[in-house]
Amino acid sequence: MALPILSIVTFLPLVGAVAILLGVRRDNAAAARHVAFATSVVTFLASLPLATRFDRTRAAMQFVEKQAWIPSLGVDYHVGIDGISLLLILLTTLLSMLALLSTWTAVTRHVKEFMIAMLVLETSMIGVFIALDFFLFYLFWEAMLVPMYLLIGVWGGERRVYAAVKFFLYTLAGSVLMLVAILVLYVAAGHTFDIQTITHLVPTYAPAMQGWIFAALFVAFAVKVPMFPFHTWLPDAHTEAPTAGSVILAGVLLKMGTYGFLRFAIPMCPAALPRFLPMIMVLSGIAIVYGALMALAQKDLKKLVAYSSVSHMGYITLGLFALNQQAMEGGILQMINHGISTGALFLLVGILYERRHTRLISEFGGLTRVMPIYAVFFSIFTMSSIGLPGLNGFVGEFLTLVGVFHSPFRMFAVVGAFGIILGAGYMLWMFQRVMFNKLDNPKNFALVDMNVREFVVLAPLVVLAVWIGVYPDPFLAILHPTVNHLIAQAPVSVASIGVLP
C-alpha cells in the first residue's frame, strides 16, 4: 500500500502538538517554539510531494484513503484531494510555517499553549480540505473554532474576549445550520455521510428541499467568508487577534467559506442554484464596494486590512458563482492570492505593532526613511493587493472579472472594475500615511528595520507573488480539470436564472 501522504500531512502538526504537550516544560518557551516551527517545516515539506505527484489531467479525487470508522453510523475515514484542495493545503502549510516563525519574539505569554493551539489549528484546517466524509468534515470544521477562539481570546488585544466570543458564536451559529443540513442529507441519503455519494444524490431531490439545503449551507459558509452583511465579526476578530492569528484567519480560515461553496453549495443543488444566484451576485457586488468604502474610513491598520478582505472576498464569491471556467479559476486563484497578499500585509502590520504597540495609522508617517527594506516589502504587497500586473493579484482579478463579464451577470464585472479604483484609493492613502510624508512622530525616529527572521518570513511570499504574477500556469493547470468538472456539475443556463439585474 502506498504511503498515506494525506494523513501524514494532516496529522503531523497534531503529533507535534502532542509532543510539545507531553515533552516540553511550561517554562521552556524556546523548546516549544523550536519544536512547533520544526513541525511546521516538516509538514510543509511533506505537503510538497502532493503537488509533484498530483495528476494534473484528472478531475477525480486523488491520494484517496478510505477506511470504515464508525460503521454503525455509516461514518468513514474518507479523505482525498482535487486541484482546489491541493492549492489550499499548500497555502495552509506554507502560511502556518511562516506565521509560526513570525511569532518568535511577538508571543511571550503561555508560549507552550500558543504553539499547541497553532499546530492543532493547522491539523484541523488541512483536515477540512481533505475530508470526503461529512462527519469528518464537520469534526474538523468545528475543531478549527476552538484553537482560533483561544488564539484571539488569550493572546489577543484589549477587547479580545468580546472579539473571541463574537467570532465563536457567529461562526457557530453558521455551523449549526450546516449541521442541520448535514443531518437532513444523512437521513435522506440513507444513512451515509459520504460526500461524493450525497453530491450525486441531492440533484434528484425535490427543488424545494434543494432550496432549503442550499440556504442552510449558504448561510453557514457566507458567515465564514464573510459575505456582506455577515461580516462584522471579522474586523473585531482581526483587530484583537495576535499577528499569527490574523495571518491564519485571513489567509486560510476565510477560504473555508468559499471552499464550502465550491465543494458543497455549488455542485449539490443545481435546482436551487439559479434562484439564489442573483442574490449572491448582489451581495458580492455590495461587499466589493462596501468593503472598500469601509476600508477607506478606518483609522486602525488591521481594521483597514480586514475590511479590504471583505472587498477582496467579494471578488472571489463573484467569480465562483459566475460559473464559468475563467471566473471560477480566477476566483480560486484569488483565494490563494488573497492568502498570500493579505497574509503578508498582516505580517507587515505585525512587524510595526511589535515595535510600536499601536496600529493607529495616525501614529505613523515617513517610515520609509528609517525602514527602507520594510518599505520595499510593504509596497510590493500594497501593489499586489491593488492588482498590479506582474504580481499575483492581477491574474486572479482579471480572470475573475473577464469571466464575470462573459457570464449573464455582466454588470457585476463593471461593479468589480469600479471597486478596483476604490482599492487603489484606500491602499495608497494608507501607504502614504504610514510610509510617506514627513517622519514627524519622535516615537518613530529610532524604529529598527526588518531583521533577518522577518525577512525570511516575507521573502517566500514575495517570490510567490511574482511567480503567480508572471507565470501562473502551474497553478492554473492544477485547477483546469477540477473546475471543468465543477462546471459540468452545475449546469446553469441563462434562462433558468431568477432575476437578471
Partner 1 sequence: MTTTVWILVLPLLAFLVNGLFSTFYPRPWSHRIATAAVLAALALSLGMVAGLLTHPGSTPFLYGDLYTWIGAGTFAVTVGVQVDPLTAMMLVVVTGISSAVHVYSTGYMANDPGYRRFFTFLSLFTFSMLLLVLANNFLLLYVGWELVGVCSYYLIGFWYEKRSAADAGKKAFVVNRVGDFGFGLGVFLIWVTFGTLDYHQVFARAGEVAGQNIALLGMEVPTLTLICLLLFVGAMGKSAQFPLHVWLPDAMEGPTPVSALIHAATMVTAGVYMVARCAALFDLAPVAADTVAVVGGFTALFAASIGLVQNDIKRVLAYSTVSQLGYMFLAAGLGAYGVAAFHLMTHAFFKGLLFLCSGAVIHSVEHGFHAAGVHADPQDMRNMGGLRTQMPVTYRTFVVGALAIAGIPPLAGFCSKDLILERAFAHGDRLGLVLWGGGALAALMTAFYMFRLIFMTFHGRARYPAEAAPKIHESPVSMTRPLVVLALFSCVAGLVGWPELLGGPSVVHLGGGILPFLSPAFGHGQAGHAHELAAAVAWALMGLSVAVGVVGIAIAFALYVVRPEAAVALGRRFPMVHGVLLNKYFVDELYDLCLVRSIKRLADLLHRGFDVFVIDGIVNGTAILLRDLGALLRPLQTGRVNNYATAMVTGVVVLAVVALATWL
Name which of residues 473 to 492 contact partner 1 (CB under 8 A): 473, 476, 479-480, 483-484
- Whichever of 63 and 228 has its CB closer to partner 1, that residue is 228
Residue whose CB is less far from partner 1, 18 or 165:
165
Q: Which of 253, 251, 249, 349 is nearest to 298 (CA)?
A: 349
Rg (CA), the chain: 22
Q: Is 424 in the site for partner 1 (CB under 8 A)?
A: yes
Indicate the residue among 246 and 384 with the shorter CB distance to partner 1: 384
Among 428, 449, 460, 489, binds partner 1 (CB under 8 A): 428
359 binds partner 1 (CB under 8 A): no
Residue 180 binds partner 1, judged by CB under 8 A? yes
The amino acid at residue 316 is I
DSSP helix/strand/coil, 27 = coil
Select 229 or 491, whichever has its Cβ closest to partner 1.
229
Which 277-296 positions form the footprint of partner 1 (CB under 8 A)? 290, 293-294, 296
Residue 70 interacts with partner 1 (CB under 8 A)? Answer: no
Nearest distance, CB of residue 383 and partner 1, angstroms: 6
| 183 is a contact residue toward partner 1 (CB under 8 A) | yes
Which 97-156 positions form the footprint of partner 1 (CB under 8 A)? 149
Contacts of partner 1 in 393-412 (CB under 8 A): 394-395, 398-399, 401-403, 405-406
Alpha carbons 61 and 85: distance in angstroms, whole number? 10
The minimum distance between CB 440 and partner 1, in angstroms, equals 9
> Coil, helix or strand for 327?
helix
Rule CB under 8 A: say whether 421 interacts with partner 1: yes
Q: Which is nearer to partner 1, 54 or 170 (CB)?
A: 170
Least distance to partner 1, CB of residue 368, Å: 6
CA distance 96 to 463: 17
Q: Which residues contact 263 (CB under 8 A, 6 or more apart)?
A: 84, 195
Pick from 238, 252, 351: nearest CA to 302: 238
> Between 173 and 279, whose beta carbon lies closer to partner 1?
173
Query: Whole-angstrom Cα distance, residue 171 to residue 169?
Result: 6
- Cβ–Cβ under 8 Å, residues 346 and 322: no
Does position 168 interact with partner 1 (CB under 8 A)? The reply is: yes
Q: Count CB neighbours of 69 within 10 A.
A: 15
Closest CA to 92 of 207, 162, 161, 9: 9
By the rule CB under 8 A, 19 interacts with partner 1: no
390 binding partner 1? (CB under 8 A): yes
Contact with partner 1 (CB under 8 A) among 11, 69, 104, 436? 436
- Give the residue from 177, 299, 143, 169 showing the smallest Cα distance to 237: 169
CA distance 33 to 115: 7
Nearer to partner 1, 202 or 395 (CB): 395
Among residues 33, 78, 112, 166, the one that binds partner 1 under rule CB under 8 A: 166
Q: Which residues contact 222 (CB under 8 A, 6 or more apart)?
A: 174, 230, 257, 283
Tell me how far apart the alpha carbons of residues 252 and 420 are, in angstroms, rounded to a whole number.
23
Binding track over 205-244 against partner 1, x by CB under 8 A: ------------------------x-xxx-----------
CA atoms within 13 A on the CB side of 238: 31
Q: What is the footprint of partner 1 within residues 322-341 (CB under 8 A)?
A: 324-326, 329-330
Residue 383 as a binder of partner 1 (CB under 8 A): the answer is: yes
From 263-271, 348-356, 423-431, 445-453, give the range in contact with partner 1 by CB under 8 A. Answer: 423-431
CA distances from 276 to 173, 174, 210, 259, 265 (A): 21, 18, 11, 18, 11
Residue from 165, 201, 215, 286 in contact with partner 1 (CB under 8 A): 165
Rounded to 10°, the helix 160-188/134-155 angle is 180
Q: Is 432 in the site for partner 1 (CB under 8 A)?
A: yes
DSSP state of 80: E
Longest dimension (CA), the chain: 69
Candidates 435, 457, 465, 492; binder of partner 1 (CB under 8 A) is 435
Does position 389 interact with partner 1 (CB under 8 A)? The reply is yes
